[in-house]
Amino acid sequence: MKPLIHLFFESPLWLGAFCFLLFAGVLFARQRWESGAARRYAIPTTLLIIGLLFVIQKLVVTQREEILMAMNAFVAAIEREDTSAIHEALAQDYAGDAMDREGFTNYLASVMEVLDIRDTRLMQRDLDIGDDSAVMTLTAKATVSVRNQIGQFHWGSWRMAWLRKPEGWKIVSVKPLRVDGQPVDTLQTLGGYLP
């Protein structure tokens, strides 16, 4: 089921490949059809179906896409150093590394006083989605500079838990896994990498 959802609702590239194969199949098969009307309407009907598939893909937003949009907004808030947007991205019942919502927001604010994070690229984003919860394992790369010095390229792996709330998907915990290839257990341990 997940591959079909990804094909028809999330990936324009895969839908384009599917539509190309569909169109090629109709072109090939219509020459063998006996009905003149079927041959005449095969191509326009196929083009109409292809157009509808792309419109449907544009209109339908899956849970995966909702979470990825929320994740992109969270990363953009970190790059802008917008603590109110960061706070808004977190669930009221945030509980990660013995920090609540306020504690995590304050932790990120203290990190952003020292570090400037920009040009973030989310590489791998594996999502395991349940009914109202999800776990994302991601790898991110970013340019990080210390107190406005020349930035250096760093990467890290993270695990994030999400809950679907009435106002959208919210982060309920963030756990670092690796930073620049070194295993990291907690955000407090990550403090050892900060100047």
pLDDT at 61 over 70: yes
What is the arithmetic mean of pLDDT over 150-171? 91
Torsion of CA 129, 74, 86, 99, to 10 degrees: 50
Q: Percent of the chain at pLDDT above 90? A: 48
| Domain residue limits, the chain | 2-59, 63-193
Whole-number Cα distances in Å, 82 to 30, 60, 75, 136: 58, 30, 10, 22
Angle at 179 between CA 112 and CA 169, to 5 degrees: 65
pTM value is: 0.79
What is the arithmetic mean of pLDDT over 94-117? 88
Q: Tell me the C-alpha distance between 47 and 172, whole Å.
A: 44
Which numeric CATH code is attached to 63-193? Answer: 3.10.450.50
Query: In the structure encoding, which two tokens stand for residue 156, read together?
Result: 């890290």
